[in-house]
Amino acid sequence: MDTEISESKYRAPALSKGLDILELLASTDGGLGQAEISKRLGRTTSEIFRVLIVLRERGYVELDEGERYHLTTRLFEVAHRHPIIRRLTAIAGDEMQKLANRISQSVHLCILNSGKLLVIAQVDCPDTNVNTVRLGSQIPIDDSASGRVLAAFMEDEELSHLLTLAGNETSARRARFLSDLAEVRKAGFCQGKSLTIEGVTNISAPVFDYTGKAVAAVTTPFIHRLTGTDNMPVDQARELLVETCRELSRRMGAGVVKGD
Give me the pLDDT at residue 82, please: 62
CA distance 85 to 98: 20
- Closest among 152, 135, 150 to 89, alpha carbons compared: 135
Residues 155 and 46 reside in one and the same domain: no
Per the CB < 8 A criterion, the answer to whether 89 and 109 are in contact is yes
Give me the pLDDT at residue 205, please: 97
Give me the pLDDT at residue 81, please: 60
Residues 62 and 86 reside in one and the same domain: no
Strand partners, 218: 109, 205
Q: Is residue 260 situated within a structural domain?
A: no
Residues 37 and 136 reside in one and the same domain: no
At CA 36, angle to CA 35 and CA 37, rounded to 5?
Answer: 90
Give me the pLDDT at residue 75, please: 74
Q: Is residue 187 situated within a structural domain?
A: yes
Residues 132 and 33 reside in one and the same domain: no
CA distance 257 to 235: 32
b/e for 102-121, b at 16 or more Cβ within 10 A?
Answer: bbbbbbbbbbbeebbbbbbb
Written as one letter, the residue type at 58 is R
Number of independent structural domains in the chain: 2
Give me the pLDDT at residue 121, please: 93
Tell me which residues of the chain have a pLDDT lower than 50: 1-6, 257-260
Residues 50 and 164 reside in one and the same domain: no
- Helix, coil or strand: residue 173: helix
Q: Is 72 exposed, middle or buried (0-12, 13-18, 19+ CB in 10 A)?
A: middle
Residues 34 and 118 reside in one and the same domain: no
Cα Rg, the chain, nearest whole Å: 21
Q: Is residue 257 situated within a structural domain?
A: no
DSSP state of 253: B
Per the CB < 8 A criterion, the answer to whether 48 and 17 are in contact is yes
Judging by DSSP bridges, how do beta strands 69-71 and 61-63 pair with one another? Answer: antiparallel
Give me the pLDDT at residue 248, please: 94
Per the CB < 8 A criterion, the answer to whether 147 and 141 are in contact is yes
Give me the pLDDT at residue 229, please: 57
Residues 51 and 180 reside in one and the same domain: no
Q: Is residue 220 situated within a structural domain?
A: yes
Strand partners, 63: 69
What pLDDT, in 10s, does the model give residues 26-78? Answer: 888 788 999 999 999 999 888 888 899 999 999 889 988 888 999 887 776 66
Of 76, 94, 116, the one marking the end of a domain is 76
Domain carrying residue 11: 2-76
CA distance 223 to 130: 7
Helix (H) or strand (E) holding 97: helix 83-103
Of 25, 57, 76, the one marking the end of a domain is 76
Q: Is residue 235 situated within a structural domain?
A: yes
Of 44, 76, 108, the one marking the end of a domain is 76
Residues 63 and 96 reside in one and the same domain: no
The pair phi, psi for residue 205, each rounded to 5°, is -145, 155
